[in-house]
Chains A and B, each alone.
Chain A
């Protein structure tokens, strides 16, 4: 009888950590998650088509990306400091891999004048930047806010999406996923 009571008491004291530890772990991992790791439902799917005018007044469409890996970068002039920090990384990417990959910028809720002012200040770019009036391209790509970047393979399929400013290491990682050696 005494043994049974002892066993029951031990079981009860064991039950507490068995319940509390997994709950604590769930809470800890939930709070510790990186919001930039939000999965995109577009990964593994063809990019949503877009067509429109660039900052230079040219016409550009997603079909112009056919047959070449692409990096589609959503940005805005008001996105400070993230887009400012990212800008030299994108310039470096274009300088190193401009021949291997097509860079495309897409403005997020920004005016052409403000975007041009940003480029005047932080460095002109060689790649097209879509005006995105009405934000329809941002919605089609499920953009949560600038900066956000999609790495797209030569078949036009989204390989990965990064939320937040790119770094050289992240660019190299993205290029590697497209089969381009950094």
Chain B
């Protein structure tokens, strides 16, 4: 029974992994137009609110933008075209998320750089606090040798 334990565990792990992969690769059902409109509205900043998306805000401007999103989706515009439409009028300011995917890498990279700089700074301090023993100069070395010979004699 013990001999079977390992193959069973490996098979179970493989089956689990397979399930995860299938779940990840399974095509999700296409979002409805209302869901698409809500997703786009959630990505746009409400023009006359503070830190609220168009989807969350109850102001008249946000309602007008939601109406325009729904109309444009109904007329066959893609979410990308609709986002571009609002950016052309309000500027990139209207987008709640940075348009470039690289921007998402800046905070973790900055954190890593900060940790690196701190480690370098801390390491240097520690080295400065514990000065390495310097090898004795030639004349000192000769003096030690002479004293040792005198002791041996």
Residue from the list B48, B67, B87, B124 in contact with A8, Cβ < 8 A:
B124
Contact B47 A145 (CB under 8 A): yes
Residues of A within 8 A of B64 (CB): 109, 134-136, 138-139
Tell whether B91 is near chain A: CB-to-CB under 8 Å.
yes
Number of A-B contacts (CB under 8 A): 66
Cα A32 to Cα B131 with chains together (Å): 46
Contact B128 A8 (CB under 8 A): yes
- B67's closest neighbor in chain A, by CB? A134
Contact A41 B89 (CB under 8 A): yes
Q: A5-B131, A8-B124, A15-B121 are in contact. Are A38 and B93 (CB under 8 A)?
A: yes
Q: Which of A139-165 contact B (CB under 8 A)?
A: 139-145
Interface of B is mostly: helix
Residues of B within 8 A of A177 (CB): none
Cα A132 to Cα B24 with chains together (Å): 47
Residue among A1, A8, A16, A138 facing the most chain B CB atoms (10 A cut-off): A138
Query: What are 10 A-B interface contacts by the 8 Å CB criterion?
Result: A12-B120, A16-B121, A48-B89, A108-B61, A109-B60, A135-B60, A135-B64, A138-B64, A142-B89, A142-B91
Besides A1-B132, A1-B134, A142-B90, 18 more A-B contacts (Cβ < 8 Å) are A5-B128, A8-B128, A12-B124, A12-B125, A16-B121, A38-B93, A40-B91, A41-B90, A109-B64, A139-B64, A142-B47, A142-B89, A142-B91, A143-B47, A144-B48, A144-B90, A145-B47, A145-B61
Give chain B's interface residues, CB within 8 Å of chain A: 47-48, 59-61, 64-65, 67-68, 86-91, 93-94, 117, 120-121, 124-125, 127-128, 131-132, 134
